[in-house]
Amino acid sequence: MSVPRLVIAAPASGSGKTTVTAGLMAAFAERGLDVSPHKVGPDYIDPGYHALAISSAASSGASGAGRSRAGGARPGRNLDAYLCGPERIAPLFLHGAAGCDLALVEGVMGLFDGAAGQGELASTAHVAKLLRAPVVLVVDASSQSRSVAALVHGFASWDPEVRVAGVILNKVGSDRHEAMLREALEGCGVPVFGALRRTRAVRAPSRHLGLVPVAERHAEAVDSAAALAARVREGCDLDGLLALARSAPPLSGRAWDPQEEIHRAVATVPGAGVRGGRPVVAVAGGAAFTFSYAEHAELLTAAGARVVPFDPLRDERLPEGTGGLVIGGGFPEVYAPELSANEPLRAAVAGLAASGAPIAAECAGLLYLAHSLDGEPMCGVLAAKARMSERLTLGYREAVAVSDTSLAAAGTRVRGHEFHRTTVAPGAGPEPAWGLVHPERRTEGFAQGDVHASYLHVHWASVPGAAARFVGRCAPPAG
């Protein structure tokens, strides 16, 4: 399948990948191209900026910008070779990018930085090779001139299977500085596709876990996206980059299909399959719960559920007929007083748990189900107290389901990711959700009734049986 595509990478974090990628997405979408946004790794904040950059370009008046051929806005999608397995990267990409004019994939960290101790696994370079995609290197040129050629040459020659096909110079100080950089790169064999000046106008604010999510600063983020698009239009060779993207060879194999995944899971996973009707699965969203992989809702829908979003900051009741609840990641610690003040919804969640309905809660969801968060009462489903911590917990994990839960039968092996600055005491219930086996051994999370609550983020595309099992345990709609 032929999909024009580029991977936007960098020598190191902090080079400006996200701002450059978002600017490119917005600039191409303003031209009327159907742009498909992707992100290497487990990060869930950057895809929000990607989707906003494209959709805001649509609102600026470009015909068809930011929308797929089917008419819906494209969500930002993650491509994580550790969580999902290398064999699923191209199929997931083809699924997300189906019918697009251009797919842009933002890398993670430095180009060759992957899962700790596992070589290239899950690195940007690894994903670029799996996608057979040209790589454009975003270089922070703020403190160098001629040395940029040595840096680019090193990255371009390090792995012959990675096609570093272009450079965008970022944080350039002046016309003279740009001329020096371009002159140095003339004999490098890697063309320069753009030079962007230093600016503070488009920086996104950060806090304890990285950028502030789009949902918390939508108006400002829209303005930043427009400024980024203008900056990229002025400083980058968009025609040249599009031609480079179109030079990517066809990808073999089939696109990932949630219906096919669920069909296979129903035949093999204990407890999978809908009991009757289309059960309502409520999915938490809004500013406090911004993280969910797009494939999760697709798998739940394919398994027979009717997925209904709700906002725990605003909605005082669960969606009508809720038979199951999914609460993903986000920043409840930022909104603890507001979440606590919504007593009717907290009582409804506690009541749903007491009724035996399945609840899947990851990270932020775990905090919301706890007795309290930084002293503020939460839903009280779990006999645990959560609080902010000075310590960052971050990294990939391998785990085994210790107990039978709404997501997994005991013994199910998964790969996941932890990323938080909070702690929960106790860290595991009498029946833990997971037994972590690598890189450390410990029990983690809570399996209580049909509640599965854990810090571990798992991408259900690697375990589609989780969605099939979850929907199979939901009560059918009344009537």
The residues carrying an active-site annotation are 363
Q: Put the strands of the sheet holding 446-448 in their side by side order.
A: 306-310, 280-284, 322-327, 359-362, 451-454, 446-448
CA dihedral 443, 77, 422, 206 (to 10 degrees): 160
Tokens of 193: 């596709």
Contact by Cβ (8 Å): 475, 323: yes
**CA separation, residue 468 to residues 112, 304, 320 (Å):** 36, 8, 22
**Helix (H/G/I), strand (E/B), else coil: 237:** coil
Separation CA 323–CA 308 (nearest Å): 11
Q: Which residue(s) pair with 385 in the sheet?
A: 372, 425
CB atoms within 10 A of CB 112: 17
d(CA 452, CA 353): 10
Distance of alpha carbon 414 from the chain centroid: 18
Tokens 């309502």 correspond to what residue?
280
- Helix, coil or strand: residue 216: helix
What Cα–Cα distance (Å) separates residue 5 from each residue in 98, 106, 256, 341? 12, 11, 18, 46
- Give the length of the chain: 479
Q: Which residues pair with 457 in a beta bridge?
A: 417
Q: How far is CA 318 from CA 299, 302, 310, in A?
A: 21, 22, 7
